Chain A
Amino acid sequence: MSNSIVYRDVSMTFGRGASAVQALSATNFGIGDQEFLMIVGPSGCGKSTLLHITAGLLRPSTGEVLLDGKPVTGPGPDKALVFQNFSLFPWKTVWDNIEFGLRINGVDRADRSERVAKYIRLTGLAGFERHYPRQLSGGMQQRVALARSFVMRPRVLLMDEPFAALDAQNRTLMQEELVRIWSEQRAAVLFITHAVEEAVYLADRVIVMSRRPGTIKEVIDVNAATGPGHWRDRPLNDVASEPRFQELRHRVWDSVRSEITTHEDA
């Protein structure tokens, strides 16, 4: 499998001199063309930093990120970012939020309408086109955010704990929704989470990061454990009771927990 994203010696240090904090130590890895990659790790391990560097919102202190062989120099619609707090424009309706990226990138009106309508259908937002974000539940708002990202047909979808603000039922529903939409429109996914179960359920590979300064501690190949039929293609509820799923979840959690405990001892 070819890589769409490659990290070459990417590191990040905030501040200078005595107050400098290294958030991320030199990181090297690649994300496959249509790979679903999940990153888990303790708070402050630099996983959000890595995501923002990938989006082009932060410039790394050393190294570079390559997207299809070209260095990332700034943000753009080929690298869609979904935020934990949704970050919808509260003064725009659902329709206008989803249309925004297409409009500012000069997509013509007819094409725009067609694409917005398609993603409204796909995310189950039909009937809510004229609603404002504050009139929607958290789950509905995150659907709008997903539609706003997917409508740009990004090469890579960056997700910054997108479902962390949702309750458990909504989170499970949204995970299944995400898989459904992603199956229709494959892209590389870099998904950051605290939730180990979410990581094991959705990922092709899970990367466990160490505490600060973050490094890749372990790469776990979920595909190897699931075999041909991936867990994410079935409801989480059916998968969660399978021994192999529980075993892998356990292994990832142990790896993350050892980082949190060492952190507290330090």
Chain B
Amino acid sequence: MYERGTTQGRLAGAASTGWVIVVLAFWIAFWWGLIVVFRINPDFLPMPGDVVARLVRLATHPVGEGPLHVHVWASFQRFVGGFAMAVALGVPLGFVMGYFRLLDWALTPLFELVRYIPPIAWAPFAILWFGANFGAQAFVIFISTLPPILISAYGAMRAVDPTLMAAARTLGAKPMTIILEVGIPSSIPVLIGGLRIGVATGWMALIAAEIVAGTGTRAGLGYLILVGQQTLQASTTIGAMVLIGALGWSFDVALRRLERAVQRWR
């Protein structure tokens, strides 16, 4: 009756935690071996150990506005701010568009167009409107995560089993009741898929926004990448990149947990 899982879901689902650790260990060893065998200059590609040492040092020694946790927290806040706005607007709007055809016709072409604009293209306007600070960065996250979230909420509502809606109508349900009591519960699998895509695009857009639109503040993981570049510390840049990857992944894991938790009836 329902589609289960996206391609990402299947890939992630296939890997147990132990297996993930083994595979990552293998690729870290491969990285290390590459440097040793080809005698690569550490300024060009640092050793895994150097990256870890750099992260440890960053954790205790401030760069820009503070030590590592300040940068992680700054990026996290911006991301959550923009993402929460996109969810707050995109989910209800998508559901309503999926149910009422007139809104669908009026708004769908607009979102079909907006979704193909790279988030970072909004940076100049974001800075113009909000200044090169939290507002600009959160706006870039918002604008990049809104289309996937809205489109998935819309698609989820369109995909609701029509006989379930008919059943609710014959029991006396009005449109709002149908959206709340039939549309939303049966949309959750598709919707969470959309949130996961939103997390991925939004998190990537954030880092880009911090590099391009983040000159007003000296905090964030994107800022650390810039610092690494400007100070010729390749280990700082790679350390920030590793953290960005790990945090993005942990958001996805959290959403998958949520997905299972809200669907005990399946």
Contact = CB atoms under 8 A, between A and B. Distances in A.
Interface string B1-22: 1000000000000000000000
Interface string B173-189: 11001000110011000
Interface of A: 55-57, 74-77, 79-81, 83, 85, 87, 89-92, 100-101, 104-105, 132, 134, 148, 152
A81 B171 CA distance: 8
Contacts of B168: 89, 100
B163 A77 contact: no
A81 to B, nearest CB: 4
A91 B174 CA distance: 19
A132 B264 CA distance: 9
Interface in B152-198: 161, 163-164, 166-174, 177, 181-182, 185-186
Contact of A76 (B164, B170, B186, B263): B170
Interface of B: 1, 161, 163-164, 166-174, 177, 181-182, 185-186, 263, 265-266
B172 A105 contact: yes
A148 B172 CA distance: 12
Contacts of B186: 90-91
A152 B171 contact: yes
Contacts of B161: 87
B170 A55 contact: yes
Given A75-B170, A87-B161, A148-B171, 14 more contacts: A55-B166, A55-B170, A57-B166, A77-B171, A80-B171, A83-B163, A87-B166, A87-B167, A89-B182, A90-B1, A100-B181, A104-B173, A104-B181, A152-B172
B191 to A, nearest CB: 13
A104 B173 CA distance: 7
A101 B172 contact: yes
A55 B167 CA distance: 10
Contacts of A75: 166, 169-170, 172
21 contacts: A74-B169, A77-B170, A77-B171, A77-B172, A80-B170, A80-B171, A81-B170, A83-B166, A87-B164, A87-B166, A87-B167, A89-B164, A89-B168, A89-B182, A90-B186, A91-B263, A92-B265, A104-B171, A104-B177, A105-B171, A132-B265
B266 A90 contact: yes
Contact of B170 (A57, A85, A105, A134): A57
A85 B181 contact: no
B171 A83 contact: no
Contacts of A83: 163, 166-167
B164 A104 contact: no
Nearest to B161: A87
**Majority SS at the chain A contact face:** loop
A245 B265 CA distance: 45
Nearest to A78: B172
Given A90-B266, A91-B265, A79 B164 contact: no
Contacts of B166: 55, 57, 75, 81, 83, 87
B79 to A, nearest CB: 30
A57 B171 CA distance: 12
B167 A134 contact: no
A60 to B, nearest CB: 17
A81 B265 contact: no
A18 B233 CA distance: 73
B190 to A, nearest CB: 14
A100 B161 CA distance: 17
Contacts of A101: 171-172
A104 B172 contact: yes
The 10 closest A-B pairs by CB, nearest first: A101-B171, A87-B167, A77-B172, A91-B185, A75-B169, A81-B170, A132-B265, A75-B170, A91-B265, A87-B163
Nearest to A79: B170
A104 B178 CA distance: 10
Contacts of A152: 171-172
A91 B184 CA distance: 11
A134 B266 contact: yes
A243 to B, nearest CB: 40
Most chain-B CB neighbours within 10 Å: which of A56, A90, A132? Answer: A90
A89 B185 contact: yes
B170 A90 contact: no
A40 to B, nearest CB: 22
B64 to A, nearest CB: 48
A80 B167 CA distance: 9
A81 B161 CA distance: 16
B173 to A, nearest CB: 5
A233 to B, nearest CB: 29
A104 B180 CA distance: 11
A165 B230 CA distance: 70
Contacts of A132: 265
